[in-house]
Amino acid sequence: MPPAHAAMETSTNPGSGQSVDSIGKQSISPLLAIDDLNVAVNGTAIVRDVSLRLDRGERLALVGESGSGKTVTALSILRLFEASGAVTRGTIRFEGEDVLSMSQPRVRNLRGARVGMIFQEPMTALNPLKTIGAQIAEVLSRHLGLRGEALRNRVRELLGQVRLPQPERVMRAMPHQLSGGQRQRAMIAMAIACNPSLLIADEPTTALDAGLRKTIMDLLVELQQKLGMSLLLITHDLPVVRRYADRVAVMRDGRIVEAGATEAIFAQPGDSYTRTLLEARQVAPMIDPPLPSAEERLRCQDLRVMVGKRRWFGPDTRSEILKGVDLSLHAGQTLGVVGESGSGKTTLALALLQLTDGASGAVWLAGRRVDELAEKRFRPYRRGLQVVFQDPFGALSPRMNIAQIVGEGLDVHEPGLTRRERNERIEQVLTEVGLSPSVMSRYPHEFSGGQRQRIAIARALILRPKVLILDEPTSALDAAVQLQVLRLLRDLQMEHGLTYLLITHDLAVVRALAHHVVVMLDGEVIESGATEPLLAEPRQQYTRELIDSALMA
């Protein structure tokens, strides 16, 4: 339940530096007080006149669409945005001290020790060249001076606190050897290592399935209460906000447009933008039934994937992670593939694309069996089977401009095009996905998450494929941008008769786009059928648990 003070609106008493609530009583100074924060880069305002309060032991959610200024506000608390050449004005007081006027050594002591931060993408935030144990130990030795066995014991204790199994194994593991949920727990362990007063969590549940979202958020709240921390939660996941936050502040175009107690905001939002965000989450089905006589575009039979090695000496390390999957997709159809992290969804996609070793089984593309083809002979078929990867920022080369990224497939499959023809094709496909051709000379880092996803879709569409594999195409997007991308995918399917294999953990996305759905568990399809009947009356207990987790998250 929200604390009693959560529903009170506070203002600042200029003479005392303390907060005064709505009935005029003086209260204890907040843990964090931001007043009239402005952040600009190259003369462009990113954060405008932001004022926030966060009390001790409170959970405050900062929400808004991509590019609204949420993360910049959070980074400014630790002065982590200064490296980009930002100009910051205003006041940020943490435990009564003005952060913006602190010396650099003082700010470095603040980071990690008194304020912990969980960054948005753990795979990017974690050092790929250091073990998990070494990265957590670095925080402890830097701020607490721990060494030797005391250091190892504390690292082991922290991994146990975040409920990571086999702490000794995790300590020796590299980031790429852990699952998404395990990496997120390791980031939490690092953030709470020094028992900070404030924990900033920037999109801590992005790209996690519904069950893992609930698990991670339950863990964060448990640790926050146990350690007496305050929590600043930055997210676009409105169900998570409603379930876990005491108060919520809504940002748009760098400004706070509305703030208050969570239940009050959700029950009766005062700002039209807040109402738009809440309505965007209610995604209605967008699909028309495919033609019953539509041609078969993609089929697989007894598709399996083995990983590991058969050893001459010692134990066999092989294991089967995809176990005899059968699928069939027709023109204009969307097949949703759902399941928790590690269920084999992405492995299935990679096997169909022939991008993984150890695959066996039969795959037909437009009636032609392709699994037996060598890479050189299979290459011409790749233009008919394209993919939009989960993380558009990671999938787009930072060294290539948009014209080079989108046109790369043409260089491979249609090298005879003139420069003019090539540019015309690029301009046409950018327009189709709702981007101006004027962006061709720009680079991926200059775009928001939703725009980068449109660029990734354009790259896949330029070859005019018959089948698109969509691996979590909206997982990192806020509700409003997610709705835009879903409408774009629907319109493209209707216009071009595309076939989609939609891999997602978001059942709202499945309801919106998928005609049929298959449920995967431990590399097997355990249930399949038409979307609405299956989600309304699932036969398997696991499917019911997935649906219940999605409703609770």
What pLDDT does residue 229 have? 95
**pLDDT band of 475, cuts 50, 70, 90:** confident
Q: Residue 23 contacts by C-beta under 8 Å, 6 or more apart in sequence? A: 8
Q: How far is CA 324 from each of CA 143, 330, 348, rounded to the nearest angstrom?
A: 51, 20, 10
User: Hey, where are the domains in the chain?
Assistant: 4-114+194-280, 296-307+320-552
Separation CA 342–CA 522 (nearest Å): 7
User: Of the ranges 22-36, 173-187, 301-315, 357-371, which is most confident?
Assistant: 357-371
pLDDT digit string, tens, across residues 130-146: 999 999 999 999 999 99
Q: Do domains 4-114+194-280 and 296-307+320-552 have the same CATH topology?
A: yes
User: Average pLDDT over the chain, rounded to whole?
Assistant: 86
- Kindly report the CATH class assigned to 4-114+194-280: alpha beta
**pLDDT band of 551, cuts 50, 70, 90:** low
Q: Cα 113 vs. chain centroid, distance in angstroms?
A: 26
Beta carbons of 47 and 37 less than 8 angstroms apart: yes
User: Of the ranges 243-257, 270-284, 483-497, 502-516, which is most confident?
Assistant: 243-257
Amino acid (1-letter code) at residue 500: Y
Quick one: which of 395, 400, 304 has its CA closest to 358? Answer: 304
Q: pLDDT at residue 349 above 50?
A: yes
Average pLDDT over residues 87-95: 94
pLDDT digit string, tens, across residues 360-413: 999 999 899 999 999 899 999 999 999 998 777 778 999 999 999 999 999 999
pLDDT digit string, tens, across residues 140-166: 999 999 999 999 999 999 999 998 888
Q: pLDDT at residue 300 above 90?
A: yes
**pLDDT band of 12, cuts 50, 70, 90:** very low
Give helix 479-496 / helix 272-280 axis angle, nearest 10°: 50
**Token representation of residue 213:** 């979202």
What pLDDT does residue 317 have? 65
Report which of residues 297 and 474 the model is more confident about. Answer: 297
Beta carbons of 53 and 61 less than 8 angstroms apart: no
E runs forming strands in 184-288: 198-202, 230-234, 247-252, 255-261
CA angle 267, 270, 273 (to 5 degrees): 100
pLDDT digit string, tens, across residues 194-203: 999 999 999 8
Q: Cα torsion at 180, 181, 187, 193 (round to 10°)?
A: -160
Amino acid (1-letter code) at residue 386: Q
**pLDDT band of 26, cuts 50, 70, 90:** very low
What pLDDT does residue 149 have? 94
- Number of H-type helices and E-type strands within the chain: 21, 22
Sheet holding 524-530, edge to edge: 385-388, 467-471, 499-503, 334-338, 516-521, 524-530
What is this structure's pTM? 0.73
Residue 278, H or E segment: helix 272-280
How many CB atoms neighbour CB 539 within 10 A? 11
Quick one: which of 271, 268, 267 has its CA closest to 258? Answer: 271
Separation CA 70–CA 6 (nearest Å): 20
In CATH, the architecture of 296-307+320-552 is 3-Layer(aba) Sandwich (3.40)
Residue 38, H or E segment: strand 32-41
Residue 528, H or E segment: strand 524-530
Average pLDDT over residues 95-115: 93
Whether the CA torsion 473, 438, 427, 383 is positive or negative: it is negative
Beta carbons of 59 and 230 less than 8 angstroms apart: yes
pLDDT digit string, tens, across residues 426-465: 999 999 998 999 999 999 888 877 788 889 999 999 999 9
**pLDDT band of 314, cuts 50, 70, 90:** low
pLDDT digit string, tens, across residues 198-222: 999 998 887 677 777 888 899 999 9
Helix segments in 111-205, DSSP class H = 122-125, 132-144, 148-161, 167-172, 180-191
Separation CA 342–CA 390 (nearest Å): 15
What pLDDT does residue 458 have? 93
Beta carbons of 81 and 39 less than 8 angstroms apart: yes
Indicate left, alpha or beta for 176 from its phi (over 0: left) and psi (-120 to 50: alpha): alpha
What pLDDT does residue 310 have? 64
Q: pLDDT at residue 25 above 70?
A: no
